[in-house]
Structure 1
Amino acid sequence: MKVMVTGASGFVGYAVAQALGASGHDVVALTRSERELPAEVRRADGDLRDARALAEIVGAEQPEAVCHLAALARVRDSRADPLGYWRTNVSGTLALLEAIAAQPEPGRFVAASTCAVYGEDVPQPITEAQVPMPTNPYGSTKLAADRAIADVAASGAIGAISLRAFNIAGGVGTHADPDTSRLIPKIVAVARGEAPELTVNGDGSVVRDYLHVLDMADAFVRALDACEPGTWKAYNVGSGNRSTIADVIAAAEEVIGRPLPVKHNPPADEPKVLLADPSLAEKELGWRPQRSDLRQIVRDAYNAVTSRDSAGE
């Protein structure tokens, strides 16, 4: 199957493009970055925010399916720049949907969504039955994109699935998450002496759900096979494992073999627990996380950065 992957030069997008190629798909990456892509992936230079150029690229490539991962994805930044988030996450998705819907045959469309669509003060673990109530512009834009995808699917133009991710981490090859505003990339930076200390809000007792990036990539491969024209469905994609911030630090210290310098700040105004119930994805997609032990996630994140530097990237 010819599959177009948007955001394929990003942390998760790279893993998805690689997994699709390894599964035998013909993968083309829609990207505006010059960063490295998996060896088996072709590059198509384009920007979601340029609807005319995007339509030309899709028309020329004629993909049978799209895995859509290009997005802005920082909660704090979304509060500072809501228009930028709506322009990229919503207008960009609409332009992509329009281009795909113009193809002669219904295509498959798998989108990277987020648990941020559900909001914060909700029962845990979170199931797909939870009514979405986002509390920040990032979550609002991703929910709007989900709804647009669902409406286009209902018209019969595509078959679609949205994968609502929790905390994706780890590494694949020499590719790790470069965003040190996130816990595990910051831990890696501190462990390598690239940051002086790890800052934790409160006592480290908040609970989060960490999923290996390769498990997320596997979910995309399986979701692509499950898309049916005229339908849309959302799945929560998380490990279902309860991990406190203190648990992650302890796992990292075990992997690295020494204590990390940690500074505790006053508690932040943040959810005490964010945990996925992935049972629907397990039941309907046949998906189950295989690599999401905390130690493996941290080890692979650390090794990816070390391997990248050793390779001179």
Structure 2
Amino acid sequence: MNVLILGGSGYLGAAVAQACAASGAQVRVLSRSGRAIAGEAVRGDIRMPRLGLPARELARVREETTHVVLCFGSVSWTSGPGEALETHSSGMRSVLTFLRGLPALRQAVHVSSLLALGRAQGRVTNRELYTGQRFRNWYEYGKYCAERHVRDTQQDLPIGIVRFGPVLGPDPRGGRPDTEHGLPKVFPHLLAGYPVHLASRGDFPCWVTDVTSAADLVWKALSAPIGRGTWTWFDPARPTLGEVFTEVCRPWGVVPKIVEAKPLGRFTRFIGERVGTPRELADYAEPWFDLDPGVLDDIPGPWPVPEADYLAATGRALLGRAEREIGV
């Protein structure tokens, strides 16, 4: 198996590269940085024709690649329309065109996001994508567009979809945890003792998982294989948002200040931002959507096993970063 990972130098992509290499696959990681922590590193750009590869490199990739992981794209919940659509929509169209030119392609896997469901209407399963929903931000809409393009090409490409919610745990690249994007952007705010306003004090699932089991699921999708199906993965324990915040803060000896917020209209959301609640959390402070937990049953066993205590491990990684920065 010769696996090409598009976006394999990022947080989840690096873990996927490690999982594939550890299972015996030949791994090639394409990214704009041209770096990889596992497998062969290739510099390229998914937004360009033929991934921006020179002719000799392109010929080698086309000839050897049997499996592809689409793990690219911005992870910022506050990205604008240009960034979100250039990568997730235009970039995906370019990548799907590239996949059609791979003569030995047996399986591709698109790494999607549960946030592509936006504010979905009614109970959702692996089948649904558009339910008449509205989107909280351009990131959600970009991920929706990417999955829509993939679904539209499944008739002529062997490509499946895996969906994740927020992925947490220490960075597999060994660097400092990224708290610039998404849910982790709230962690420094909580650790500094500032309050967050959550419906039911955060007593609702946020569909998180750890980076290790997410990467293992991608490998399973390649090797099982997933075919043209859709799998959704999250920690089967289904920790609530309040529990996630509590566990991440535990290694710091901090009890997060979670303030009850009833029902979150526009005024309540505005007040939350005025008193310090990060913008990334303001639109996720109430139940996200009604996801059927039975979606996990579509994944053939055995399931990946989330790393024990991965939420507290996230907090410990942040604590280690803070100690290094102040020279403790």
Matched with 1:266 is 272
| Cα distance in 2 for residues equivalent to 1:217 and 1:300 | 17
Q: Deviations over 1:233-275 (max 9, x none)?
A: 2221212444333322322343x15125748663844462237
Post-superposition offset of 1:277: 4.2
Post-superposition offset of 1:175: 4.5
The answer to whether the 8 Å contact 1:3/1:66 transfers is yes
| Cα distance in 1 for residues equivalent to 2:322 and 2:69 | 26
Matched with 2:9 is 9
Normalising by structure 2, report the TM-score. Answer: 0.76
Matched with 2:83 is 84
The 1:152/1:287 distance shift into structure 2, 3 A limit, reads: farther
| Cα distance in 1 for residues equivalent to 2:111 and 2:283 | 26
The answer to whether the 8 Å contact 1:51/1:95 transfers is yes
| Cα distance in 1 for residues equivalent to 2:285 and 2:322 | 34
Aligned match of 2:235 in 236, 239, 257?
Answer: 239
The alignment partner of 1:201 has SS state of: strand
Matched with 2:301 is 286
Aligned match of 2:47 in 43, 46, 49?
Answer: 49
**Structure 1 unaligned spans of 5+:** none
Matched, 1:98 2:97: yes
The number of residues matched between the two structures is 295
Matched with 2:278 is none
The alignment partner of 2:78 has SS state of: helix
The alignment partner of 1:72 has SS state of: coil
Q: How does 1:1-313 map to 2 (within 5 A)?
A: 1-33=1-33, 37-38=36-37, 40-54=38-52, 56=55, 57-62=57-62, 63-77=65-79, 81-123=80-122, 126-132=124-130, 133=133, 135=135, 136-155=137-156, 158-173=157-172, 174-175=174-175, 177-184=177-184, 186-187=186-187, 196-202=192-198, 204-205=201-202, 207=204, 208-227=206-225, 232-254=228-250, 256=251, 258-259=253-254, 262=257, 266=272, 268-270=282-284, 272-274=286-288, 276-277=291-292, 279-286=294-301, 288-291=303-306, 295-300=309-314, 302-303=316-317, 306=320
Post-superposition offset of 1:32: 0.9
The alignment partner of 1:246 has SS state of: helix
Of 239-248 and 101-110, the range deviating more from structure 2? 239-248
| Cα distance in 2 for residues equivalent to 1:15 and 1:309 | 25
C-alpha RMSD of the superposition: 3.2
Normalising by structure 1, report the TM-score. Answer: 0.80
The answer to whether the 8 Å contact 1:64/1:108 transfers is yes
When you count strand as a share of all residues, which structure comes out higher?
A: 1
Q: Deviations over 1:150-207 (max 9, x none)?
A: 333312xx3111111111101255246413444446536875xxxx445523464252
The answer to whether the 8 Å contact 2:169/2:310 transfers is yes
Post-superposition offset of 1:59: 3.2
**Structure 2 unaligned spans of 5+:** 260-270, 274-281
Post-superposition offset of 1:45: 0.2
The 1:87/1:206 distance shift into structure 2, 3 A limit, reads: farther
The answer to whether the 8 Å contact 1:21/1:41 transfers is yes
Using the aligned pairs only, state the percent identity. Answer: 21
